[in-house]
Chain A
Amino acid sequence: MKELMLTNQAIARGAYEAGVRVLSAYPGTPSTEIAENFAKLDGVYAEWAPNEKVAVEVAIGASVAGARAMACMKHVGLNVAADPLFTVAYTGVGGGLVIVVADDPGMHSSQNEQDSRYYARSAHVPMLEPSDANEAKEFVKIAYELSEKFDTPVLIRETTRVAHSHGFVDLQDRAEVELKKYEKAPQKYVMMPANAIKRHVVVEERDNALSAYVNDMAINREELTDKNEVGIVCSGAVYQYVKEALPNANVFKIGTAYPLPMSALKAFSTKVKEVIVIEELEPYIEDAMKAAGIACHGKDLFSLQGEISVLKIMEKFGGASAPEAEKVPARPPVMCAGCPHRGVFYVLNKLKLTVNGDIGCYTLGAVPPLSAVDTCVCMGASVGMAHGFKKATDGASNNVAVIGDSTFLHSGVTGLINAVYNESGITLIILDNSTTGMTGHQQHPATGKNLMGAPAPVVLLDELCKACGVKDLQIVDAYDVKAVEKAVKAATASKEVSVIIAQRPCALLDKSSKPKMQVQNCRNCGVCMRLGCPAISVGENGVKIDASQCTGCEVCANVCPFGALSLVKEG
């Protein structure tokens, strides 16, 4: 049977067909749909972990216990999970273990363009790189075979254009894979120096064996056409672009980004006029080929930045040039109408505070007109950075940290423990919208539901903060702008570490129809326009409300100095 599937769904399907029993993941574009789709399949266990490090550790545990297991994350998630990754490379696996990582060249939804292939190389973990949905499903199965044959975790790398494209996928049945019997083997699974020294020898032997093995794998293949033509070396999405732009070129398609099939690449290089490596991001393949003595072009032709495209390849080979685009105003993403984050940023901007921001929908508090956020580095960084600001200025800095609920549980809580322990007196605002908004509304440990859709115990954010030693804690309604302002003033005045939990569910969660705002006797003072609400615009006689977007949150009414905005009374 054939089905048109999103690649991430195909990866979930591949895991299912490979007999995977346990999947743990933390959401992150463009990887999120793998776990979401796996959770819908029969007879499997899937969960959201609070962060990627935990997800990988869960998968390692399941593997050592004898099950085939998977962990999934976006590229920056692998930084968080790098610690277990580098050591599970030494222990090897019980049941097959696959870690899926999704890179984001072009930064469609990310804060950097890091290239995960270097993780595979430096951790000595094989990495497969599919180029479309059907291949992705097949590569997952190959990954489990490799994992068990060579006693190693295996990485699968996808990029946004692979992860978020659909293609036809051939469906097969689920393989019945027995749970292997766990046997105590401390020399393999207890990585203290005496054991790890011996395992490092095993890692090197395995690497050598794999480096030879990959040359004969069918997923590394040449497609030869004409000896007098150039030979293109590529992988992943770029392979599909090359086939489109240069249908007659000689191509070497790499399926194993690590180890690279170097003998096969060497043989290919002797069969073509010259070798050009086309790869997104870093010169990973190019550098390796040059180090192996294979002359080639690569980053002298294509940029390190952004995505490769069919057109960029055609341009280099003289086939086409880009038609000129119209110059039009940008349409950047905005906080939704009714977003509970809006009023908080309005207050922070009004009070002229320096805001150490974090990653989530609320990062949009950085854009005009709210323009409140000063810094954003990585998940959890708001809290540590706010502490650093205080320490650098002997407590004089006028700053607060702002973090989402999912991000707080991911890695903000450790920063809070540090701030209490090392006594910086920071103010932390937790924007508790009861969901992981940015990535499309996933559950997390404080929402009361799990990935399988069942009710779950709730981690209470206020109790958690108190347990960390926070004594100054306030809970406010995020829509009540005056209460938020009062709370922020009190918290920043205190010398102790203070936490404000601003609560209101994400406006997109409740789809029921609600009363809208109306405008009467507007004096055009422009205060509500500073909210950057997409439902409010300037009309001829004052502001006007777009009823199709308005959720009646009343934040605009709460900031209007003249009482011109009010809820339409029902009936």
Chain B
Amino acid sequence: MMNVLIAGVGGQGTLLASRVLGKYAMLCGKDCKLSEIHGMSQRGGSVVTHVRIGEKIHSPVIWEGGADVVIAFEALEAARTAHYLKPEGILLVNDEEILPMPCITGAAEYPKNVKERLSLRVKHTHFIKAQEAAVEAGSGKATNIVMLGALCKLFAFDKDVMKRAVEACVPAKFLQLNLAAFELGYERV
């Protein structure tokens, strides 16, 4: 059983990332459920998608304290969702800060030491400059695929199968770019 929580900001491509993992589960012959929220929250708000892979899955939603890994596309979102991890869970964070509106307007302050706090809270915390790597691969939009490359390495997923899953989920004209992004994530974590 493997529970993956993907946290990000609306528009960062968390849905695509979860669908790639769903495809991976399918190619491995495992049961899988995904849960996502559409609508209101996608307008630049926090978004969370849930991926559960195993022999038989009931709940599509992961519970607090039940995730094997939290993949966060942004540091504040990592902090917001870190309590979903199991005690030995792994936190994989895109090393990037995106200010939420209350911080832009000055109504709230973006916490200064998020990264330190995350490392203190979660023993297995990995930061990766995924946005940078995605730009290197050809487009910042591929940040999600960089993160999947990193996940693949950390959890020793079957790399070839995972690449096939990416291939099945991204448009053909962006395939090379996404595969390059995947490799960079795999190498740099």
A binds B: yes
Which of A's residues lie within 8 Å of B, judged by CB?
2, 4, 29-30, 32-33, 108-109, 132, 160-161, 164-168, 237, 240-241, 243-244, 309-311, 314, 320, 322-326, 328-336, 361, 364, 367-369, 438-440, 529, 532, 534, 536-538, 548
B156 within 8 A of partner (CB): no
Given A4-B26, A329-B76, do A161 and B61 touch, yes or no (CB 8 Å)? yes
Contact A324 B83 (CB under 8 A): yes
Chain B residues within 8 Å of A333, by CB: 10, 40-45
Given A30-B38, A108-B37, A334-B45, do A326 and B82 touch, yes or no (CB 8 Å)? yes
Closest residue of B by beta carbon distance from A337: B44
Contact A369 B105 (CB under 8 A): yes
Chain B residues within 8 Å of A168, by CB: 26, 31-32
How long is the Cα–Cα vector from A160 to B38 in the complex, in angstroms? 9
Contact B60 A332 (CB under 8 A): no
Contact A4 B39 (CB under 8 A): no
Given A168-B32, A333-B10, do A361 and B43 touch, yes or no (CB 8 Å)? yes
For the complex formed, measure the closest distance between the CB of A32 and the CB atoms of chain B, giving whole angstroms. 8
Stretch at the interface among B62-70, B147-155, B171-179, B180-188: B62-70
Contact B60 A532 (CB under 8 A): no
Contact A534 B32 (CB under 8 A): no
How long is the Cα–Cα vector from A440 to B40 in the complex, in angstroms? 9
Choose from B35, B39, B79 the contact partner of A438 (Cβ within 8 Å): B39
Closest residue of A by beta carbon distance from B23: A4
Contact A548 B140 (CB under 8 A): yes
Choose from A310, A364, A548 the contact partner of B66 (Cβ within 8 Å): A310
Chain B residues within 8 Å of A364, by CB: 43
How long is the Cα–Cα vector from A164 to B42 in the complex, in angstroms? 14
Which of B's residues lie within 8 Å of A, judged by CB?
9-10, 19, 22-23, 25-26, 31-46, 57-61, 63-66, 76-77, 79-80, 82-83, 99-111, 117, 121, 140
Chain B residues within 8 Å of A311, by CB: 63-66
Contact A240 B60 (CB under 8 A): yes
How long is the Cα–Cα vector from A330 to B80 in the complex, in angstroms? 9
Contact A109 B103 (CB under 8 A): no
**Apart from the given pairs A4-B22, A166-B22, 20 other A-B contacts in the complex at a CB distance below 8 Å:** A4-B25, A4-B26, A109-B39, A109-B40, A165-B35, A166-B32, A237-B61, A241-B58, A244-B59, A310-B59, A325-B64, A325-B80, A326-B80, A328-B111, A329-B103, A331-B80, A331-B100, A361-B43, A368-B102, A538-B106
Closest residue of A by beta carbon distance from B34: A166
Contact A534 B76 (CB under 8 A): no
Chain B residues within 8 Å of A32, by CB: 38
Nearest 8 A/B pairs, CB to CB:
A109-B39, A29-B39, A165-B60, A333-B45, A331-B100, A329-B108, A333-B43, A166-B34
13 A-B pairs within 8 Å (CB atoms) are namely: A108-B41, A161-B35, A164-B36, A168-B26, A168-B32, A310-B61, A322-B65, A324-B83, A325-B64, A330-B102, A331-B76, A335-B43, A532-B101
